[in-house]
Chain A
Amino acid sequence: MIKLTRIDDRLVHGQVAFTWVPALGVDCLIIANDKVAKDEFMKMTLGLAKPAGTKLLIKSVADAIIFLNDEKSKGLKILLIINSVKDAYAIANGVEEIKSVNFGGIRMKEGAKLISKAVAITEDDKPLLQELLSKGIELEIRQVPTDSKQMVGSLI
């Protein structure tokens, strides 16, 4: 079961290990990212950050979709982390179960606009977000679980 799907371009860090994991009671972190899945160094550092008592799986986006649709994954309490709107779009389209996407942090870059303290959106992201919204998928911004939800739809 996927407890939360989160976009966070720092992947696993303090907010994730320290607030989301205990608040959701998850036992498995899945990082779906094509670049990280091939990068041994990144895998090693992410392994260090893994909160005690959780499992960490690092997969390419395509593999993550296969895994999440597999019966095997149903017994796990999963926190799914991706680092971009593009990957969120791909994964939300590929996995039926995802009905809501949490926006944690997308850093500022050239051509992007901050829509919230820690979330920056580019023009290219907007049509993807609109499409997700039109499918009835909730897009909400919360850095930590105790924040109140800000809706992405009202900010773009």
Chain B
Amino acid sequence: MSLTYLLIALIAMFGHSEDFLGTTLLSRPLVLGPLVGLVLGDVTQGIIIGGTLELIFMGNIKVGAAIPPDVITGGVLGTAFAIISGKGPAIALAIAVPVSILAEMVISGLFVLRAILNKKFDQYADDGDYKGVQRLHILSGLLRPLFMGVIIWLALQLGAGAMKSFLDMIPAWVQSGLQVAGNMLPALGFALLMNLMFNKKVAPYFFLGFMLAAYLKLPVIAIGGLGVIIAFIVTQDTSKEVSEDEDDYSDVNTETEKPSPKLTKGDVRSLFFRSLALEANFNFETWQNTGFAFSIIPALKKLYTTKQTMAAALKRHLQFFNTSPYGSTLIIGITAAMEEQNSRNADFDAESISSVKLGLMGPLAGVFDSLFWGTFKVIAAGVGASLALKGNVLGPILFLLIFNVPHLLLRYHLTFIGYNTGTKFLQNLAKNNVMDKLTKGAAILGLMVVGAMPATLMSITTPLTIGAAKSGSAVQGILDQIVPAMIPLGLTFLVYFFVKKNVKTIYLLLGLLALGFVGSMIHLFT
């Protein structure tokens, strides 16, 4: 068993390395669940549990310094204990929720502690020692996977036996209560997503998604496809300029007479690769500052050959920085181009580099966080979880592909766009209202998929009958004839109502658990 525990701890360490891996969702339960299943010899169960946990933690997102529950630790331990003890997803959930809340506190602590290292980073910068900055960034980044890996390994090694006998003691009625409660919890995830996207203007798309799923039984992936088409049609009327706009900025690019760029394609490419470790040393004092410095160092190395100039540049980039990792390369590229101008021209105002960088980080975080968390992640999770709940291994695979193909393509090209065209690209976006269309289209698409979710991803029904015990007709049958999946939809809106009233997530979670438990005991829901 010891080897197994070690392997599971390694999976958790892999998950906790997400800050080195470009926030590519490799750490989500839907990906780690199947891996844990593989180690424990039951991949299918791992996929199903991963899908279940993914749904429940769906509304959990990382924006700015608001750190969500740690689904890596919670998900890995929950999945592992559930499979070891031979219980289902319900037990995984019962473990994952409290563990992830506890583990979040540990990680927040680490983010506070890391600020201590900032002095050391400043020293390295003063000496123009970019190698020192790089080294410390990586070492500090490794703290998280190492530390969490040890904790998880200890939890398994010391706690697995006790946990198993404890889980064996759980009576059947508690388990079936948990089962029903677990089936209800996705309503919370859906409601949190709706809270981000739902408003009167786009509400019809939510119901369109719901009806396609509930009545026509279309799979989520088909609804996503339809969503893309509808989003295109709806934003089309004025989108002629969009295609012209592309030419515009490439024209600008060729027309302006620039001295030949100092950075090679390879250099720019390494800016992109390094940006994947942007958040490795995330801390609560200066946030992603060392990640930014780490990413831009390949450019600085080329541009600044004296200790003095290197020190000045490093100090500039160790200032507070925080943006969405998904759009970070645009800022990194623009900054590299400005650093190049600075290195060429002694009169260049180096302060302007910082002001452009700091000016862009907030607004671009807004754009890219909404696009990736609000749209791509939603579709990826919707499609992935719907397959995973059936034990289909395509679930986690499509989940990763749907999110990361657009993510990595965009992130890669934005580095070059930033470096080659600088802020002109943004000016063109602003001039042509591209952003408005993009956010509108993304909202339509995201909401259609969210609408499909209660109908496809929640199985809550009622065993009630009306009339005499034997001749009575099943309530569920009647409901299905009017609106299939009426209970999941109603539940989702009920939770959404409370979310709108600013009721804390933890109370909603406990409330849903209680409702599921009681509902199961009095045979209201199954």
Contacts and interface: CB of A to CB of B under 8 A. Distances in A.
Interface of A: 10-19, 22-23, 25, 39, 41-42, 44-53, 105, 107-108, 114, 117-118, 143-148
A11 B369 CA distance: 15
Contact of A19 (B65, B196, B427, B440): B196
A121 B410 CA distance: 38
> 5 tightest CB-CB pairs across the interface, nearest first?
A49-B363, A10-B362, A13-B362, A17-B366, A49-B366
Interface string B344-380: 0000000000001001111111110110011000000
B435 interface: yes
Contacts of A53: 199, 201
B468 interface: no
Interface string B106-128: 00100110000000000000000
A14 B365 contact: yes
A49 B286 contact: no
Contacts of A10: 322, 361-362, 365
Contacts of B361: 10, 13
A105 B503 CA distance: 23
Interface of B: 63-66, 108, 111-112, 195-199, 201, 284-286, 320, 322-324, 356, 359-367, 369-370, 373-374, 423, 426-427, 429-430, 435-436, 439-440, 443, 500, 502, 504-505
9 contacts: A14-B324, A18-B370, A19-B196, A23-B195, A23-B502, A45-B430, A49-B367, A105-B65, A144-B63
B363 A48 contact: yes
A18 B286 contact: no
A139 B66 CA distance: 19
Q: Which of B64, B197, B285 has the most CB of A within 10 A?
A: B64
Q: Which of A10, A12, A45 has the most CB of B within 10 A?
A: A45
A53 B112 CA distance: 37
A153 B117 CA distance: 29
Contacts of B367: 17, 48-49
Contact of B199 (A14, A22, A41): A22
Given A18-B374, A143-B64, A11 B362 contact: yes
B364 A45 contact: yes
B285 A146 contact: no
Nearest to A25: B199
Contacts of A146: 502, 504-505
A42 B359 contact: yes
A44 B426 contact: yes
Contacts of B439: 51-52
Nearest to B370: A18
A28 B245 CA distance: 28
Nearest to A39: B359
Contacts of A51: 366, 370, 439
Contacts of B286: 107-108
A147 B66 contact: yes
A108 B285 contact: yes
Nearest to A8: B362
Given A18-B374, A19-B196, A13 B64 contact: yes
Q: Which of B197, B322, B362, B443 has the most CB of A within 10 A?
A: B362
A148 B286 CA distance: 23
Contacts of B322: 10, 13
A64 B359 CA distance: 21
A15 to B, nearest CB: 4
A10 B287 CA distance: 13
A44 B64 contact: no
Given A13-B363, A41-B356, 5 more contacts: A13-B362, A47-B435, A49-B367, A50-B435, A118-B64
B364 A12 contact: no
B423 A52 contact: no
Contact of A117 (B284, B502, B505): B284
Contact of A108 (B320, B363, B370, B423): B320
Nearest to B65: A118
Contacts of B373: 18
Contacts of B500: 23
